Structure 1
């Protein structure tokens, strides 16, 4: 979302809880943020995107992906990078009316794995450094100390406890 904003796009985030949504808009500079835990998430997404959605980056799957599919404009693009809402459940859910919506709206849906783009690493790193130095992208790290805390850190990640990139520090920085 921060990259899209740095490129001049209108950006609407989706986060869990009013506090995280406030952080996404006030700290990260998104134009709006929808609380996926609040009732009426699909309606709130349509209200935040009155002209529809052209590009959706998904890393949660499930009902959030479903809401995004219904909000997509014709010939919109969906990038699927994960399905975190499905990782820790015995009852996975997927979007309803798939592939119906993909066909009717002529959507493009593609998987994204960063290793497929290693040829662009240097270019991406330069752009990211420029945006970070200009304050257009904020790097937020959520560090949990100790390998013994890794299981709880993962459980917390899946429960949405973190803000930013969750990492486990296993030893002090050698530098």
Structure 2
């Protein structure tokens, strides 16, 4: 797969790397987003989530991003132009989903699993499509993942929930990169990158992923 000429290393490892491909394939191929959908994205200020939000807007969807803290929610609203944002650290996610998605959720791009996935399942619309990308809320839990209780609502609403790995769809990489490059050139996608300087800071950079400190793609710059 060819990355556009002149692209710097951070962009090659984010928007035109696994990050961008995961967002593109998960939202377009797995969730089959279409114009008019109400799309909810968890981990919306993260590497994949921030790209998903922007692709969904390009496709004509209404987008609600879920992120932790006012700073991230403000970024989603003011920089990525999502229609609304939910601060899971300071707001009742289930109640806010009811307010922001009164007609139900057509597409959910799941990066976190756990309680947020369960809340979304309780509010899916008829024919909803859920793309399971990650479950970061449970990666460090010694007792395992939080139980998900609202799965039966998928039956009632005739919805689907499907896990995916981007490596299974690398045949779509060329088209994905071409589209991402076009949207970036048109100013429709902003590439969110969070760079930590120095190899000695790599462990702390990794921890940032689990504490939610990063915005966008977390990278470590070793040297010029």
Q: TM-score per shorter chain, which class?
A: over 0.9
What residue in structure 2 maps to residue 63 of structure 1?
Answer: 115
Q: Which one has more relative contact order, counting CA pairs under 8 Å at least 6 apart?
A: 2
Q: CA RMSD in A?
A: 1.3
Deviations 1:78-133 (A, max 9, x none): 000000111122233132233x2222222211112111211111111111111111
- SS across alignment from 1:11: strand
Q: How many correspondences in the alignment? A: 171
TM-score (norm 2): 0.73
Matched, 1:78 2:130: yes
Deviations 1:134-160 (A, max 9, x none): 111100100112222222111111111
Could you tell me which runs of 5 or more consecutive residues in structure 1 were left unpaired when the two chains were aligned: none
- SS across alignment from 2:202: helix
Q: 68, 73, 79: which is aligned to 1:27?
A: 79
What residue in structure 1 maps to residue 146 of structure 2?
Answer: 93
CA contact (8 A) 1:61 1:94 kept: no
Residues 25-174 of structure 1 aligned to structure 2 (within 5 Å):
25-91=77-143, 92-98=145-151, 100-172=152-224
Could you tell me which runs of 5 or more consecutive residues in structure 2 were left unpaired when the two chains were aligned: 1-52
Q: Which runs of 4+ in 1 moved over 4 A?
A: none
